[in-house]
Structure 1
Amino acid sequence: MRASAVSARPGAGILQRPYLLVTVGACALVFLAAFESLAVTTVMPVVSRELGGASLYALAFAGPLATGVIGMVGAGNWSDRRGPVGPLLSSVAVFALGLLVAGTAGTMWAVVAGRLVQGLGGGAMTVALYVVVARVYPAVLHPKIFAAFSAAWVIPSLVGPFAAGLVAQLASWHWVFLGVVVLVLPALAMLLPALRGVRSGNANGNGSADGSGGGTASDPAGSPVPWAPGRLAWAALAALAVLGLNLSSGLSVAGPFLAGAAVVIALLAVRPLVPRGTLTARRGLPSVILIRGLVAAGFFGAEVYLPYLLVERYAFSPTFAGLTLTGGALAWAAASGVQSRLGGRLGSPVAVRIGSVMVLLAIALALVTTALGWPAAVAIAGWVLAGGGMGLMYPRLSVMTLALSTPDTEGFNSSAMSISDSLGGALSLAATGIVFTAFTTTAASFTGVFVLTAVIAAAAVALAPRVAH
């Protein structure tokens, strides 16, 4: 049984002692990471124009996604070997350093460098926070804290772009980066008391290096987790694949070939970075990790094109088309709260099944709306359903990942889940970009995109029963 690092009080919630400060601090870090990723989208055109960096514009977005993969793997291995305290403190410091470099930049190259460092820290911070959850909170509170993480991630999508634009207009784009640094420090300070009680490693050493959680035949008790520099090499290769996928859409002729090569490299590189059997949907944890990537691919691959559809086919203004996604974001937060309140009354495998079906139905509604010319309200309402499905199952996939981990595989498995998220979205966006440009008519392009994402979502539905251990 996993013991928490703080003395639990029977019936205590995540906003009660002894968890209040660690909850607020952890959620604040999640919020700030999400805010920064969204805020940059708003201010980067201003940054590019002021610094003359149009040629580096795409790299400023793709670079952090790539370095984030390396950060995830490094933090996972470090957490399993020494506990999450060192990785968390270091990742927050690296994240803040990247913000400082970008915020004080006088050239576009400096902005990109800061973004690369920021991505490295942000990826590591995500994994370290998951291990902190595993070692601070009892399992009964995991649905609640992951619901809080979901809300902390979704809220910036409602206020982040507007707030960033306001800061850039009233002060300077520099403060969109520098202002977050000021807020990161008190957030980390709230976590420090709880971190002092977190154990530094796995005393029992009862896991395995591939995340399966078992010892060897010759050493039934297992052994302390070794450093795994080879994983960093595979992570670097996966990072290059993510970079190639994100940059391929800007190349008209070579783009599809670059994307195809990147997909192959990504699939080869990811195998050592996830539990054995993930790519073949082995029952239990491997399927949990795979489903996480599939639902990310289906949801985010379709979400990108929904506002585009509303502008092109239904003459929505860009602002109003963007606001249609707000309903999905609110539904995500609301459904996360619902699964939190239901707790053990809603089994995690059931939540995953229901959520994956909801996402598939939403994409199917967008597809039918596009193909048959139905009113835009059908697709918009459907996206509320998609947000609800994600809010229902995303926290439970996180809960299951930790529940199926041993103390010395929490970092590896949390890293695998985060990588599945990242690669799933990157693969889907690259594939939908190729499909969209392959057709000669706009209607066919949108139909092709929603067919592809519906197939991905259907795969998640078909494999969802396999998450049950």
Structure 2
Amino acid sequence: MTRTSLTAGLVALVSLVAFEYIAVAIAMPVVARELGGLHLYGLAFSGAMAAAVVGTVLGGRWADLRGPSAPLWSGAAAFIAGLVLAGAAQSMEMLIAGRLVQGFGGALVSVALYVVVARVYPEESHPKIFSLFATAWVVPSMVGPAIVGLVVDTLGWRWVFLSVPVLTVIAGLMLLRGLAGQPVTGGQAEPAPGLARKVGWAVLTAVGAGLMQYGSDGRFLLLVVGLVVLLVALPRLLPAGTLRAARGLPSVVALRGLATGAFFAAEVIIPLMLINERGLSPLLAGFALTGGALTWSFASWLQGREVFSRRTNLFGGSVAIALGILFMGAVTFDGVPVALAYPAWVVTGFGMGLVYPTLSVLTLELSSPGEEGVNSSALQVGESVFSVVAVAITSALFVAADSGYWAVYAATLLMALVGLWVAPRFQTARVAAPAVAHMS
């Protein structure tokens, strides 16, 4: 019963973080208009992302040194405080401050949950737990838009923020009950110098990602400067050799970034392409995304039951991602039936469902005791930053090619093909030496 309560609490917290991510994106146009802050619209997202990068890096090392309990509950408190501050905001500046606190807290929670899984659950249970985590991220994308739209229309946008803290407290109580007597206090890593420097690199990484985001609308100088900053800062936060996909953990982190970057950069342009170029209604265009979300969840379920081997999950999933993006890219041409968009994204979502949770499992398998937090933070930082870079570059290509949908899908297909090359480069043997470079 205790383990059931623990699992339910973990999944509930993941779902709430995911729901709030989607909810804010949907409600923000109304929020910015009411608060008179349209000029700060982008900062509401990039600021939260920057805070999340810092929280992810800090939380990973904190969990290794002190155990996951402290960053978990500190993160939950910050997540709630940020939501309350944003929901009570009387200005866009106040709302952005709330988003900063919320993003930081949510990142602490996300990293700590990985370490809880490593500490509490036996290794053979990890695939099933991470399949539940993946589903907890996907399901809000299916039901979230309708719920958020109803809340905004009936209760007002503030309740998009203010309702979640109550649910977070309930999930926290379930989790607290489940954690009773579990080995979640005390660290497994020795204190090491360089944490402040690492947080500094995290801040610089967030700045670089923000510059790329702001430069994606045609301000190419900002785009280039942001990319240079990232090339300097990001490697300090990832396992040594990640950018060249060295075997083992570096290839796991690289594949997570490539797969999520290719998927989300391709996905964000789908509704625009289907509505503006192929004449579909928003509802019909949305069904394409829903199909991908459903198969992502289904494939995650298969991964959790270990229907296929790890190698099959990664290689087969990478093939599916590349094929799905190729087929969706074909839909940009008038001679191709628009109906192809639906099976295309079903295939892509299925590939992500195989790849995404498998990489979470491998990250813990490849982590020695005391490294679970720092390696999990590297996985999540890489995923976030690769996605920002992919969206920024494809957006710039879209602008440069004058609504060049084909350019977006060509670039994301290239990322998926690189991921296909990286997929077999993982290894399942544990590493004895610290995996992350530049720790001191």
* Counterpart contact for 1:85–1:198, Cα < 8 Å: no
2:236 corresponds in structure 1 to 272
Task: Tell whether 2:422 aligns with 1:463.
Answer: yes
Distance in 1 between the 2:42 and 2:236 partners? 29
Q: Give the one of 333, 340, 353 matched to 2:304.
A: 340
Amino acid at match of 1:374: V
Q: Give the one of 185, 191, 207 matched to 1:200.
A: 185
1:380 corresponds in structure 2 to 342
Matches for 1:347-366 after TM superposition, within 5 Å: 347-366=309-328
Following superposition, the deviation at residue 202 of structure 1 comes to: 4.4
Provide Cα deviations, 1:275-330, integer angstroms capped at 9, x if missing partner.
Answer: 11111211011100010000011111111111111112210112321221000000
Matches for 1:35-74 after TM superposition, within 5 Å: 35-74=19-58
Amino acid at match of 2:195: A
* Counterpart contact for 1:98–1:117, Cα < 8 Å: yes
Structure 1 segments unaligned to the other structure (5+ residues): 1-16, 206-222
1:461 and 1:170, CA in 2 relative to 1: closer, same or farther beyond 3 A?
Answer: same
2:196 corresponds in structure 1 to 229
1:429 corresponds in structure 2 to 391
Matches for 1:64-463 after TM superposition, within 5 Å: 64-196=48-180, 197-203=182-188, 205=189, 223-225=190-192, 228-250=195-217, 252=218, 255-341=219-305, 343=306, 346-371=308-333, 373-440=335-402, 442=403, 445-463=404-422
Which deviates more, 285-294 or 313-322? 313-322
* Counterpart contact for 1:78–1:227, Cα < 8 Å: no
Distance in 2 between the 1:178 and 1:369 partners? 41
| TM-score using structure 2 length | 0.94
* Counterpart contact for 1:225–1:408, Cα < 8 Å: no
Amino acid at match of 1:281: A
| TM-score using structure 1 length | 0.88
1:216 corresponds in structure 2 to none
Distance in 2 between the 1:67 and 1:228 partners? 16
* Counterpart contact for 1:336–1:391, Cα < 8 Å: yes
Distance in 1 between the 2:118 and 2:216 partners? 38
Amino acid at match of 1:115: R
Distance in 1 between the 2:185 and 2:143 partners? 37
Amino acid at match of 2:419: A
* Counterpart contact for 2:288–2:341, Cα < 8 Å: no
Following superposition, the deviation at residue 171 of structure 1 comes to: 1.1
1:409 and 1:54, CA in 2 relative to 1: closer, same or farther beyond 3 A?
Answer: same
Following superposition, the deviation at residue 247 of structure 1 comes to: 2.0
Following superposition, the deviation at residue 199 of structure 1 comes to: 4.0
1:209 corresponds in structure 2 to none
Provide Cα deviations, 1:402-444, integer angstroms capped at 9, x if missing partner.
Answer: 000012110110000001110111000000011001113x4xx
Distance in 1 between the 2:379 and 2:282 partners? 33
Amino acid at match of 2:90: G
Distance in 2 between the 1:103 and 1:95 partners? 12
1:150 and 1:199, CA in 2 relative to 1: closer, same or farther beyond 3 A?
Answer: closer
Amino acid at match of 1:335: A
Distance in 1 between the 2:69 and 2:61 partners? 13
* Counterpart contact for 2:116–2:184, Cα < 8 Å: no
Aligned length: 427
* Counterpart contact for 1:136–1:194, Cα < 8 Å: no
Following superposition, the deviation at residue 67 of structure 1 comes to: 0.9
Amino acid at match of 2:292: G
Distance in 1 between the 2:30 and 2:376 partners? 36
Distance in 2 between the 1:193 and 1:81 partners? 23
Output the aligned Cα RMSD. 1.5
Following superposition, the deviation at residue 373 of structure 1 comes to: 2.8
Distance in 2 between the 1:468 and 1:455 partners? 24
Amino acid at match of 1:261: V
Distance in 2 between the 1:292 and 1:202 partners? 27
Percent identity between matched residues is: 45
Distance in 1 between the 2:173 and 2:192 partners? 29
Amino acid at match of 2:204: L
Amino acid at match of 1:140: E
1:433 and 1:346, CA in 2 relative to 1: closer, same or farther beyond 3 A?
Answer: same
Distance in 2 between the 1:310 and 1:23 partners? 39
Secondary structure, aligned partner of 1:19? helix
Following superposition, the deviation at residue 372 of structure 1 comes to: 6.4
Distance in 1 between the 2:333 and 2:8 partners? 45
Provide Cα deviations, 1:123-148, integer angstroms capped at 9, x if missing partner.
Answer: 12111111111111111111111111
Provide Cα deviations, 1:332-382, integer angstroms capped at 9, x if missing partner.
Answer: 0011011112x2x52223211111110000011122232463111112211
1:202 and 1:115, CA in 2 relative to 1: closer, same or farther beyond 3 A?
Answer: closer
* Counterpart contact for 1:81–1:226, Cα < 8 Å: no
Secondary structure, aligned partner of 1:468? coil
Following superposition, the deviation at residue 201 of structure 1 comes to: 3.6
